[in-house]
Each structure stands twice: as C-alpha cells, then as structure tokens.
Copies of this chain bind each other. A is one copy, B any other.
Amino acid sequence: MTAKITVEPSQKRQQAKQLREQQLLILAQQILQQDGFAGLTMDRLTALSSVSKGTIYNHFCSKEDLFTALSVDSLQRQLQLFQRALQIPGHSREQVLALHLAYHRFSMTEPTLFLCLLTATTPAVVEKSSPARLALRQQLELQLAAICQQLITAAIAEGSLQLAAGQSVDALAFVQWAQAFGANALLKPTQQLGLFSQLQPQPTMLLGVNLLLDGLNWKPLSSDWDYHASWQRIMTILATEAPGADGQLN
C-alpha cells in the first residue's frame, strides 16, 4: 500500500524535527545561563529562535514540558558520563566512586542543566508536562538505575561486597542515588545561603561515598586504600577525556 511512501518522508521529517528540538533546547539553556530562570519566557525563546511560537508549542505542550525536556537532556548527558566513567580501570568500589564523581562533576560544570533536573522534580512542572515526555524521563532514569544495579551485582559476584540481611540491590542503588542527588542539590544553595560555607565540595562528596561504602563493608575499605588518590586519578581522566561538550566520537 502507501506504507513506504508515507513512512519514508515522515522519517526525514521526524529527523529534522528532532534536530530542531535539540536546537531549541540548547537555546533555552543559553537563555537560562544568561538571564536566569526568570528570564526564560516562551516569547523570548520564540524571538531568539528561527521558528514561531506555534511551532514551539508543536514540540512542547507547555513551558513546564520544556523543563522536563531539558531534564531529559540532562539525564542523557549523565548517561554518557556514566558510561565513560565505567570504562575507567579500577576495582569495583573505585567504579562506584567514578560514578559519584561523574555526577558531581556534571553538577559543577553544567549547573544550569543540573538545576533543570531539580526543577523538573517539582510538582508544578510534573503536573503540566506531557505524559510522553515523563515516560521518556522515566526510561532514562531506569537506565541510570540499571547501571548502578549492574555495578552492585557485579561486586557481589566478584566477592567485594556481600548483602547483609534486609539489604537488596535496589535498596543499595537507591541509597547511593539519594546521597548523590541530595549532596549535589544542596551544595550550591546551601553555600549561597552562607550555610556550611567553609566546606570543601570534593572532600565532602568523597566522605559521603566512603561512609556509605564502608558501612556496606564494600572492599577495599577506605582504611585500606587511598581513595583520595583514586578520586584525583579519576578526576584527571574525566577532565582530559571529555574536554568539550562534544557528544560524538572523533
């Protein structure tokens, strides 16, 4: 039937549409960086883009949906960083550390994108986002969670970690995630408010991870290994391997 004839151009269209969506998201980020969250309005986005408002609303069903889209972008970046961090050689506990470090680095180098993630967690945003985009976000979070779970499972198989009573792979992944999210989300606003102002970010992050993993008895313990050195090593690799915002191989 007309299947091929209609599908083929539709694919081209879809590609062009997705490309433009990416450009719109980049533009939105620029506005956020430059003028803050209060400076981002749909009219302004329209004015600075090459398309009309109607077209923008063809992509995002509401302003809040745009924020959720930005958070999806954020998660995709995180996923890339996580996958890169996993390639760094080291024992299993160092790999956990690498994930935390990648997360922290992301929150520092891309504060705007990270704040979008925080904003998209807010009920006001969730309530007005499209179900399709919320599903997309859920899918990405599932992938991120899967990475953590794989790491934990591998460590158990390998013998570095043993599950005690009342522990589960899911629970451990959640606790790690909560620590990373909480610490990175609170760091900036907390220091802006003058609270904990004399706290050094990196050692504090490392401390949090070490406490959790020592509590799990995940070998080698922080008393038997210099994780400060591991942190420095991983940091250097992450910083040199991905100097730009280039998402593609080269």
Contact = CB atoms under 8 A, between A and B. Distances in A.
Interface of A: 36-38, 115, 118-119, 121-124, 126-128, 134, 137-138, 141-142, 145, 166-167, 170-175, 177-183, 185-186, 189-190, 193-196, 198-199, 203-204, 207-208, 210-216, 228
Given A128-B38, A182-B182, A199 B211 contact: no
Contacts of A126: 189
29 contacts: A36-B123, A37-B123, A37-B124, A38-B127, A115-B122, A119-B124, A121-B185, A121-B186, A121-B189, A137-B193, A138-B195, A141-B190, A141-B193, A141-B195, A145-B195, A171-B203, A174-B190, A174-B199, A175-B208, A175-B211, A178-B183, A178-B186, A181-B182, A181-B185, A181-B186, A182-B182, A182-B183, A185-B185, A214-B214
A209 to B, nearest CB: 9
B38 A193 contact: no
Contact of A194 (B115, B138, B183): B138
Contacts of A181: 182, 185-186
Contacts of A166: 203, 207, 228
Contact of A145 (B182, B196, B198, B207): B196
A174 B186 CA distance: 9
Interface residue SS majority, chain A? helix
Report the 3 A-B pairs with minimum CB-CB distance, sorted nearest first: A182-B182, A211-B215, A178-B182
Given A167-B207, A171-B204, A203-B171, A142 B195 contact: yes
The residue among A38, A182, A203, A210 with the most chain B CB atoms within 10 A of its own CB is A182
A124 to B, nearest CB: 4
A49 to B, nearest CB: 21
Contacts of A186: 121, 174, 177-178, 181
A233 B209 CA distance: 29
Contacts of A198: 170
